[in-house]
Structure 1
Amino acid sequence: MFRDLSRPIETGMPTYPGDPAVTLAADATHEADGYATSELRTGSHAGTHVDAPRHTLSDGTTIDEVDPGRFAFDARLVDLRPLEPREAIAPEALSEAVGGETGPVDLLVFRTGWAGHWGTERYRDHPSLTEAAAEWCRDRAVGVGLDAFGPDPTPAGEGAGAAAGSDEPEGTPVHDVLLNSGLPIVENLRGLDGLPARFRLYAFPLRLREGDGSPVRAVAEWEE
């Protein structure tokens, strides 16, 4: 079985606060030119994407330097629901959710339930990992995938739902812990409901020269 876990790339899609807006528009058309091409303008972290260490580490590895085989994951689905807006996920919660054993996997895919808020201001109010939870993952040599903007808190911005008026997050400690250890981060996943506990996840990036990340077509595969 295969399932697409990625967000469609389209004009006006949600982006992380401050990132470039996405536009996808016709360049040539069948009516005018006899063929069709499109112009895509996007940031490197739009939609479902993977982060390279260069994303938060000035001397980190770039996306084109990472072996492509590192983006084919033995994944485990970890259901953390129910969670409150901006709830901090501690290592104890991770340990409880996986029963204390991560097993032979290299990516934990966290289902927070925030995929359902895609396209709304509430999507910014997603739960996030604590730095200690990131260290818990690092110590087990597992990367992180999730159905939210990222594993660190996202700035609320004006009128951003439940978190409006709260203190803005500083730094990217969870990214730094994981990326400094060469562990993958896959963000803005969708379609996690109904997945089996174990599956393969393919999330191959574009080969962007000196890239800090890249959109991906994230696909889950498992046996019936």
Structure 2
Amino acid sequence: MFRDLSRPIETGMPTYPGDPDVTLALDATHEADGYATSELRTGTHAGTHVDAPRHTLSEGETIDERGVGAFAFDARLVDCRPLAPREAIGAEALPEPNALDDADADAADFDADLLVLRTGWASRWGTDRYRDHPYLTAAAAERCRGLGVGVGLDAFGPDPTPPASPEEAGYAREDEPDGTPAHDALLTDSLAIVENLCGLDGLPERFRLYAFPLRLRGGDGSPVRAVAEWEES
């Protein structure tokens, strides 16, 4: 079975604070030109997308330097719910190397290369509260790094997002990290980060996830068509 896990790209869609707005507009029409073409203006991190190491690391790998096979994943769904606004996801919420696997397995035998974290924040897409998503602690990011697995999320990303307004800042927690420590921990080892996923409800625990980016020369990330595949039982 297949399921699309990506957000439609459309004019006015939510974007990370400070990122370019998205517009998709007709450039030629059947009525005037006999054919249709459209102009798309977007940032590289709009909608459902993957990050390249260059996103937060000045000398990191660019999106076009990665082999295409790096964007086909053996994924494991991790249900982190329920979570409060801006709640930290600790390492204890993530599977151990031997969880559900052979008791003698170690990190090298971990049978997934992407943990898809279901936070429940997909339901807040299009609202200011989408910014108040949970995030990974440094320990959780290091757990992923130690396992050699990337992260997919139904949120803006693995680090906190700035609140929408001073009033919304009341939800921020005093111990929230500054900067992009979770991004840096994962991208330093070229581990995948797939952001703004949707449609995670009802997925099996194990599935294949395909998230192929545009081949942007020197790109720091790219929108993707994220698709889950699994065998129907």
Q: Same fold (TM over 0.5)?
A: yes
Cα shift at 1:11? 0.2
- Which ranges of structure 1 fall in alignment gaps of 5 or more residues? none
Q: Following TM superposition, where does structure 1 have runs of at least 4 consecutive aligned residues deviating by more than 3 angstroms?
A: 98-103, 159-169
Separation of aligned partners in 2, 1:51 and 1:221:
21
Q: Deviations over 1:22-72 (max 9, x none)?
A: 000000000000000000000000000000000000000000000010000
- Give the SS at the match of 1:218: strand
Equivalent residues in 2 for 1:1-40, closer than 5 Å: 1-40=1-40
- Compute the RMSD of aligned alpha carbons: 1.8
- Give the SS at the match of 2:47: coil
Note if contact 1:145-1:187 (Cα within 8 Å) is conserved in structure 2.
Answer: yes
Q: 2:218 aligns with which of 210, 219, 222?
A: 210
Separation of aligned partners in 2, 1:86 and 1:127:
4
Q: 1:199 aligns with which of 180, 191, 207?
A: 207
Note if contact 2:151-2:192 (Cα within 8 Å) is conserved in structure 1.
Answer: yes
1:183–1:28 distance in 2 versus 1, CA, 3 Å: same
Separation of aligned partners in 2, 1:2 and 1:64:
26
1:165–1:115 distance in 2 versus 1, CA, 3 Å: closer
Separation of aligned partners in 2, 1:177 and 1:65:
19
Note if contact 2:86-2:171 (Cα within 8 Å) is conserved in structure 1.
Answer: no
- Which ranges of structure 2 fall in alignment gaps of 5 or more residues? 102-106
Separation of aligned partners in 2, 1:209 and 1:139:
30
Query: Which residue of structure 1 aligns with residue 59 of structure 2?
Result: 59
Query: Which residue of structure 2 aligns with residue 115 of structure 1?
Result: 122
Cα shift at 1:93? 1.9
1:210–1:78 distance in 2 versus 1, CA, 3 Å: same
TM-score by length of 1: 0.95
- Give the SS at the match of 1:39: strand
Cα shift at 1:94? 1.6
Separation of aligned partners in 1, 2:212 and 2:167:
32
Aligned length: 223
Q: Deviations over 1:104-163 (max 9, x none)?
A: 110000000000000000000000001111000000000000100000000113157474
Partner letter of residue 172 of structure 1?
A: T
